[in-house]
Amino acid sequence: MGAESSKGNKAFVNILPVSRHELGPMWTNNKMPGPCYKWAVNDKWNVSDFRMYNVTYPDDCRGEPFVICYHIHSNRSLDTVAKEIGRIPAPMRQAASVFMTYSDMLGENPSYDRTNYLVAAVYQDGAIFGRSNGYFPAALVHEVTHLIDGTLASPDAVHPAPGNTQFSSTQKWRDPVNNDGYAISEYGASAGYQEDFADVGRAVLLDTIYPGGLKNLSDNNANLTLITKQLKAFKDQAGTYYRKGGSCNDSLRFRYPTLMDIPKQPEQPAPGLPQYSQCGGKDWTGPTKCATGLVCVYVK
């Protein structure tokens, strides 16, 4: 339908403006937003390898800053992450409170030693940036749509608290999908109502921002007539957020609820990993230069 294609991804890159951002200094309070802590522990990362930064978008989202929980071995610079977040239109972006990056180092976490790991939503909490770069803006739009499913589009959300019910789990979504008889993508068809909802979100944004809409983008693909009920249901429930421009509404923001203490870590590496002293210091046996972001400790 175009949303999965390189043409659709290029449309996001070429048409969506990147909102100007301002990064704050690294947090020094030994705290971590609850969602970041929960998912770092859940996915078997060392929480002490994350650095927290506030990021604001003064031109379209002046309220409370977003938080980037940045892994020291991320494959994207902190500035690049902030720019990618700023490409998401502010009315959609306001559904998130935190964004995380995961490590790019093979061997650091066997659970994530896969080259195709891209980006994921963590329920209503935020989005995780992984290793891959392919189709990235389109993937991030998909994942932010998952967040919207449980916040801005949720029928029982109480601002600023996310709802317990995702819109995609209600009959108001399932009925039009079933009545259409088709999902918007192969992935949506195989993975269920939630993933179909997230893929429809990409299509709705493309329909809004691309000159001539989806019809023009898809060269009048006849299959568009097979998903008309889904497109209408999505636009009726959440379409107001899927547009270029606009700004955050502070009363609609969904903030992370808690802060967690980062436990002190023993000065030992994971089994099988080398320990290095401070770069070039006494008893140094590691590489002659430390890569940016590496945390070095003395060789035992």
Phi–psi pair at 26, nearest 5 degrees: -60, 140
pLDDT bin (cut points 50, 70, 90) of residue 196 is very high
The confidence score (pLDDT) of residue 89 equals 96
In this structure, are residues 170 and 176 in contact, taking their beta carbons and an 8 Å threshold?
A: no
Can you tell me the distance from the alpha carbon of 282 to that of 284, in angstroms, rounded to the nearest whole number?
A: 5
Q: What is the mean pLDDT of residues 274-294?
A: 37
In this structure, are residues 127 and 120 in contact, taking their beta carbons and an 8 Å threshold?
A: yes
pLDDT bin (cut points 50, 70, 90) of residue 123 is low
pLDDT bin (cut points 50, 70, 90) of residue 266 is very low
Question: Does 280 have pLDDT greater than 50?
Answer: no
Looking at the whole model, is its pTM more than 0.85? no
CATH dotted code for 6-261: 3.40.390
Query: Looking at 46-55, 101-110, 145-154, which range is the least confident one?
Result: 101-110
Question: Does 102 have pLDDT greater than 50?
Answer: yes
The confidence score (pLDDT) of residue 26 equals 96
Question: Does 74 have pLDDT greater than 60?
Answer: yes
Question: Does 286 have pLDDT greater than 50?
Answer: no
The confidence score (pLDDT) of residue 113 equals 58
The confidence score (pLDDT) of residue 187 equals 84
Question: Does 41 have pLDDT greater than 90?
Answer: no
Can you tell me the distance from the alpha carbon of 153 to that of 197, in angstroms, rounded to the nearest whole number?
A: 11
pLDDT bin (cut points 50, 70, 90) of residue 3 is very low
Q: How far is CA 33 from CA 64, 139, 147, 162, 231, in A?
A: 14, 24, 17, 16, 35
The confidence score (pLDDT) of residue 2 equals 39
In this structure, are residues 152 and 212 in contact, taking their beta carbons and an 8 Å threshold?
A: no
Give the model confidence (pLDDT) of 164-184 as tens digits.
Answer: 889 999 999 999 999 999 988
Can you tell me the distance from the alpha carbon of 100 to that of 98, in angstroms, rounded to the nearest whole number?
A: 7
248: alpha, beta or left, given left = phi > 0 and alpha = psi -120 to 50?
beta
- The whole-chain average pLDDT of the chain stands at 80
The confidence score (pLDDT) of residue 25 equals 96
The confidence score (pLDDT) of residue 69 equals 94
Question: Does 58 have pLDDT greater than 90?
Answer: yes
pLDDT bin (cut points 50, 70, 90) of residue 110 is low
Of 140 and 241, the structure prediction assigns the larger pLDDT to 241
Nearest to 66 by CA among 57, 77, 78, 79: 57
Question: Does 135 have pLDDT greater than 70?
Answer: no
For helices 228-238 and 193-209, what crossing angle results, to 10°?
Answer: 80
Of 119 and 31, the structure prediction assigns the larger pLDDT to 31
In this structure, are residues 115 and 132 in contact, taking their beta carbons and an 8 Å threshold?
A: yes
Question: Does 124 have pLDDT greater than 70?
Answer: no
pLDDT bin (cut points 50, 70, 90) of residue 111 is low
Of 44 and 94, the structure prediction assigns the larger pLDDT to 94
Domain locations along the chain: 6-261, 266-300
